[in-house]
Structure 1
Amino acid sequence: MKRVLLLEDDQKLSELLTKAVQAEGMAVTTARSIADLEAELEAGGNFDALILDRLIHGADTRARLPDLKRRWPRAAVLIVSAINTPLERAELINAGADDYLGKPFVTQELLARLRSLLRRGGTAVESEYREIGNSVLNVLSRTFSAGENSIALPAKEFLVLKLLAEEPGRVIARNELLDSVWGSYAGADTNVVEATITNLRRRLSSIGSSAEIKNMRNSGYWLEG
């Protein structure tokens, strides 16, 4: 059974979402404050997905995203917020959220996004490491190493590299990268993919990695060691 942590300070909305998610066959743990959220961080439980209201009694949950990702690296994070602007969405996705839903929203849309995130992320146990040439990607710490050199990867760059490293040599289309890493937020704009690939190439080169991200015009990207 999938486990979901719901952080929402509006009692009626919290109860509505809890019932809706439970009806999908998932277990729900509710939190009503940042203190509740921090208590869950300290506890030993695991979650497959986190549904977080952006502002809880004036406190911004964005500041907790790094801690949440470290505690539950495989959990999908869906942010819901009354602040619904393109800049807001972009900032939260770049900060580590996997999806974003503006208020007001239809419950069925939230459930559809939650199901999509769980399909993409899953909870299958996976190897902690991916070896590419003289380099190693640590999927738990989100670091990439070559010899004695190591770098921490930003959230989206890590997800792109992880996807490429799953099957080195397989060409992955831009649209597949968009859907898998950015979900519905990048739309048809492939520039975000190209910018992320450019940053990744620079980082890999900076530590002397033999791994190279190749591309073919109008086709996609693949990883070689």
Structure 2
Amino acid sequence: MKRKPAGVFLQDNGLNFVDEGLMSMALTHPSYSQERSSSANNQRLEFLGDGVLNLVVAEYLYKHYQNKAEGELTKIRARAVCENSLLNVAYTIELGHYLLLGRGEEMSGGRKRKSILADAVEAVIGAIYLDQGFETAREFILKYLEPTIVEAAQGDYYDYKSRLQELVQGKTRENVTYAILEESGPAHSRNFTAGVFYQERLLAAGEGKSKKEAEQNAAEKVLQDKNILASLGWDQDKPR
């Protein structure tokens, strides 16, 4: 595979760097610099990018999941910035085509190696932050990771719909139902409001960046409202 230069990467991703050397360094794997007895590689940028990435995701979670406790937010963030998530970003932007690798790493398939690609994504973020600032770095991160963040927030530890269903089925043969009450926002950033109903009674409404997330938030509100649970006779079996 013929490697594409850093300048092409910038063009392909709509980035106009003041110092293109920063992106060249972000795309330079240590194996390449080691063969040339040089210290110029992407490890320090990777360190910086990791910090920026975690800050952006933490800020996003803080703003969009205001009813979530610290423990849940920590779990969501960890899942959103894991190696597989970064690997998906690398595949999307075809990052392997732009990397500078040492001969040995090149021959052993380094352009497809998960750890190399994930680390390079963080290095790219670090370079964007240094050259273009925090806002551009945040835009880049959320462009590729926002759907992953939302999906991570719907993990098993966050599955209030299942908990509510188990509670209801332990009391009655009927179940709750969900309906989207409202959609708003531009096409690329929709907001949804979902309602959870029991016997045509609206129990609670929840908002989210996806329909599933809105439904989860609605179910959570029911589970945390002692008055609703008591009025339906469900309070004794509410989930821990």
Pick the structure with greater CA Rg.
2
Which of the pair is proportionally richer in strand? Answer: 1
TM-score by length of 2: 0.25
TM-score by length of 1: 0.26
Query: Relative contact order (C-alpha < 8 Å, sep 6+): which is higher?
Result: 2
